[in-house]
Amino acid sequence: MPVLPIDSGRYGSREIRDVFEESSRLRYILTVEAAVAEVQAELGIIPADAGKEIASKANLNYVTLEKCKEVEKIIGHEPANVVEVLASVCGEHALPWVHYGLTSNDLLDTATSLQIRDAMRIIEGRMRELTTLLAEMAQRYSDLPAVGRTHGQHASIISFGLKFAVWASEMLRHFDRLNQLLERVLVCKTLGVVGTGSVMGEKAIEVQRRVAEKLALKPIDAATQVVPRELHAEVVFFAAILASTLDRMATEIRNLQRTEIGEVEEPFRPGQVGSSAVPVKRNPIKSEKVSSIARLLRPLVQVALDNIPLWHERDLTNSANERFMIPMSLILLDEALKTMVEVIKGLKVNEKSIATNIQKTDGRIFSEFVLDLLLKKGFPRVSAYRLVQKASEMTDVSFVDALLHIPEVARKLSKKEIEDVTRPHAWLGASKLIINHVVDEVKRKLSTLGNPSLPMV
């Protein structure tokens, strides 16, 4: 019976949950066990027929999840339960060589690397789709003037498309982070109890190199019984920082959907209910979900950091929380990405409200440009600033009329000059160039990445 929403399928795609299912975890562990046996046989560490036997039986057809659970109830150890079940299905000639020279975390940590790799392949695909959508929205609305807000207040004119370009640019940096991350964290470790490869001797290095090659991983340079947990911390940090970018998008969309602003609206399908009590409500629940997920992911970084300083060559203080931390981080990140793709794909942009909002301050949003006009007329900056500020405080008249009520301004500027300054399209600045550059970078980066290239095991 499901306990957590992830278990019920409420969060995370079927594809990414499959990576972390119990049976999948067992399959990854057996994949490692098989690869080690094959390599040890190749190097003459164990008999060739034993290696072939172990590798042929190290799969879910012979080592079932149900049997492993039965054994674990008796012995109380993972993955010794896997080793015991594997040995029980192998021929007698292979029994001395099952799990030869290995320790539990050789299987567990290497299997975790395989899970991270396969999960990140899915994450990368979601990132690609979202970044493409953001670039398209940036270009579509590049010529649309809108209110730019700082501290929640109207500040100046912005291209509405620039919002999406900024997010797309941020996503490109996450691709860089992901690629750098995978170079470091996708490691294979088969060096035994305390990381010396003692039973296999000097051949242990070559065993690890070949196993890593078979599994499309990198051999760990040095480890104790476990791979250093700063590697896993980096995975969790990546999930948290990317989720925080999604939270930033979601927070802006939630704000712009407020009734008083009304510039965007999340997709709302026919028959959907926004409120059980208020029929007219259309709440930004998808964006709120993204923000909520990000709040859950960020504290997991602290847990991951706390796992780094283990006692001596290892202890188990990391073990229990990692069973939650890594699957939760990547499944929930998948959910947040999938949800944000839905939001951006179906986002309704209300251009009429955007235009109306520009006029809410009756021209005062153009104060920056009036100030610039006065500076070009020879006014000292401080004096010009004070005059424009004074005009902005005359709320009983329009900003244009307020400026003309100030003699120093009226002597230098005509009404037409001031009105010309209050044309929104004139103040998009370098927005178009910035947006085009970001769009070009998105196209370039995604084309060089090609199709998601991380192989699945």
Ranges in the chain annotated CATH 1.20.200.10: 105-266+279-357+432-449
For residue 126, the tally of other CB atoms under 10 A from its CB is 22
DSSP letter assigned to residue 313: T
Q: Which of 183-192, 301-310, 408-417 has the lowest mean pLDDT?
A: 408-417
The pLDDT tens digits for 243-292 are 999 999 999 999 999 999 999 999 977 655 555 555 566 789 999 999 99
d(CA 211, CA 344): 42
Q: What mean pLDDT comes out for the span 204-231?
A: 97
Query: Strand pairing partners for 348?
Result: 265
Ranges in the chain annotated CATH 1.10.275.10: 17-100
453 pLDDT tier (thresholds 50, 70, 90)? very low
What is the pLDDT at residue 372? 93
CATH superfamily of 105-266+279-357+432-449: Fumarase/aspartase (Central domain) (1.20.200.10)
Name the percent of the chain lying above pLDDT 70. Answer: 95
Q: Count of alpha carbons within 13 Å of 200, Cβ hemisphere only?
A: 29
Cis preceding linkage at 380, omega within 30 = no
Which of the residues 8, 275, 383, 414 is marked catalytic? 275
Q: Are 368 and 283 in contact (CB under 8 A)?
A: no
What is the pLDDT at residue 450? 56
pLDDT at residue 427 tops 90: yes
364 pLDDT tier (thresholds 50, 70, 90)? very high
What is the pLDDT at residue 281? 63
Residue 349, Ramachandran bin (φ over 0: left; ψ between -120 and 50: alpha; else beta): beta
Query: Which fold does the domain 17-100 belong to in CATH?
Result: Fumarase C; Chain B, domain 1 (1.10.275)
Q: Read off the pTM.
A: 0.93
Q: Are 245 and 77 in contact (CB under 8 A)?
A: no
pLDDT at residue 452 tops 60: no
What is the pLDDT at residue 5? 83
The pLDDT tens digits for 117-173 are 999 999 999 999 999 999 999 999 999 999 999 999 999 999 999 999 999 999 999
Residue 275 designated active-site: yes
Going from the C-alpha of 286 to that of each of 256, 291, 337, the distances in angstroms are 14, 9, 11
d(CA 181, CA 59): 29
Q: What mean pLDDT comes out for the span 431-452?
A: 88
